[in-house]
Amino acid sequence: MADPECSICGRRACYLRRYSGQRFCAEHFVEYFEAKVKRTMLRYRMLARGERIGVAVSGGKDSLTLLSILSTLAPKLKLELQAILIDEGIAGYRAETVERARRFCSELGVPLLELSFREHTGLSLDEMVELSRRNACTFCGVFRRRLLNAAARKLGCDKLATGHNLDDEVQAILMNYLRGDVERLLRLGVSTVSKKLVPRIKPLMEMPEKEVALYALLSGIPASFEECPYAGDSFRTDVRDCINRLEEKNPGIKFSILRGYQKLLPFLESHEAGALRRCATCGEPSSGERCKACLLIEELSRSASR
């Protein structure tokens, strides 16, 4: 059987987009990917001329792909990019990804601010996990969001861009549905739920994870493809496997989940947007009297003093 052909130029295809039936050669895949990310940014009005954009980078394929695409748009839109890296403190994993992020930022000429869990909470993520029975991802998600928002605000960023891809988004949507966590479901929204939070943008939110990986490989982006050692034992992994099985039988179901959520978002916003206030301890945005970060720090210091 002859090699499958690119639907655009007839050359040998390297990728079949199952949900549309289109095949792409390497060149046309890269072209399609960049055009679609730009279309997504336009569609959701993610960027405006002259803005200062904080970009969360980890050294992984998603964040470095995001930084690469934003840096090609920066001169035309007069964007000022500022990369922000959070070192959670995960032994045997983070050091290499941090190094990759540093090198790529310096190659692109994007300034990089580095922060760590240890300097802000007194503990690395590994130490938190040792002290607690909670899942690593709970600490990681809460403190990373907190540090990124505070850094972007201090740096005067108009927006905070993160590398969440379609799979990340759909997993988060379903996880929050399954847990009945409406507040978190709302916070996944495209822009912002409160003036106290720097508006977040997710330019890769419509790109399936395997397309981001292929783009990073084909474009020579020096990203790490390693998975976090804590990833395997999380609830997210079960949800991911379940969605992937559904997608296998029903190509396009990830997009349907995202579209359904977007239709629901205006209803959620009208009921919940006023719910955010300031944490009584640290003053950061919080849905309760005290924020999740302060509650977790208190819980950790109780465990440490036992």
Residues that bind Zn ion (CB under 5 A): 6, 8-9, 11, 25, 28, 279, 281-282, 291, 294
Nearer to ligand SF4, 140 or 160 (CB): 140
3-class state of residue 55 by DSSP: strand
Structure tokens at 19: 């949900």
What distance in Å separates the CA atoms of residue 151 and residue 113, rounded to the nearest whole number?
9
Q: How far is the CB of 135 from ligand SF4 (least distance, A)?
A: 8
Examine residue 140 and tell whether it contacts ligand SF4 (CB under 6 A): yes
- 11 near 5, Cβ under 8 Å? yes
Examine residue 137 and tell whether it contacts ligand SF4 (CB under 6 A): yes
Examine residue 101 and tell whether it contacts ligand SF4 (CB under 6 A): no
Question: What residue 231 binds from Zn ion, ligand SF4, none (CB within 5 to 8 A, per partner kind)?
Answer: ligand SF4
3-class state of residue 14 by DSSP: coil
Examine residue 128 and tell whether it contacts ligand SF4 (CB under 6 A): no
Contact residue for ligand SF4 among 136, 174, 185, 223 (CB under 6 A): 136
Question: What residue 281 binds from ligand SF4, Zn ion, none (CB within 5 to 8 A, per partner kind)?
Answer: Zn ion
Q: How far is the CB of 242 from Zn ion (least distance, A)?
A: 34
Interface pattern 141-170 for ligand SF4 (x via CB under 6 A): x-----------------------------
What distance in Å separates the CA atoms of residue 131 and residue 89, rounded to the nearest whole number?
14
Nearest of 173, 132, 118 to residue 295 by alpha carbon: 132
Nearer to Zn ion, 260 or 283 (CB): 283
What distance in Å separates the CA atoms of residue 124 and residue 301, rounded to the nearest whole number?
13
- 294 near 283, Cβ under 8 Å? no
Residue 227 backbone zone (phi > 0: left; psi -120 to 50: alpha; other: beta): beta
Examine residue 231 and tell whether it contacts ligand SF4 (CB under 6 A): yes
Interface pattern 250-279 for ligand SF4 (x via CB under 6 A): ------------------------------
Report the amino acid identity of residue 216.
A
What distance in Å separates the CA atoms of residue 235 and residue 102, rounded to the nearest whole number?
31
Residues making contact with ligand SF4 (CB under 6 A): 136-137, 140-141, 228, 230-231, 234
